[in-house]
Amino acid sequence: MIAGVAAALALGITAGPSSASAEDSEFQLAQYWGDPPPRRWGPPPPRRWGRACYTTRGTCGLEERVPRGAPCRCFFPGGPKRGNVI
């Protein structure tokens, strides 16, 4: 009986500090990693795509999707003209 009480006291005493030390270690781990990185360090925003080329002479279609703002070329009567994808 005394051995059982002694064992319970031993378990109670050792169980108390172990849970507190676990919380302390989690807190220290959070301090180690610091604050999250700034927003500009995240992934880039999704790209926008276009299928039309806009030039000073007019607009023409493209065969495939191209990122918006990329350079492109349209062929008009009188020669080719360069522009941007919209």
Whether residues 52 and 33 share a domain: the answer is no
Over residues 27-36, the pLDDT tens digits come to: 555 566 777 7
Would you say how long the chain is, in residues? Answer: 86
Residues 52 and 76 in one domain: yes
Is residue 42 included in any domain, yes or no?
no
- Return the amino acid letter for 9: L
Instruction: Identify the domain containing residue 14 by its residue range.
Output: 2-37
Same-domain status, 51 and 31:
no
3-state secondary structure of 46: coil
33 and 54 both lie in a single domain: no
- Return the pLDDT at 35: 77
Whether 57 is covered by a domain: the verdict is yes
Regarding whether 56 and 26 lie in a shared domain, the answer is: no
Question: Model pTM?
Answer: 0.48
CA distances from 19 to 5, 15, 40 (A): 21, 7, 38
Q: How many domains does the chain have?
A: 2
What is the C-alpha to C-alpha distance for residues 70 and 51, in angstroms, rounded to an integer? Answer: 11
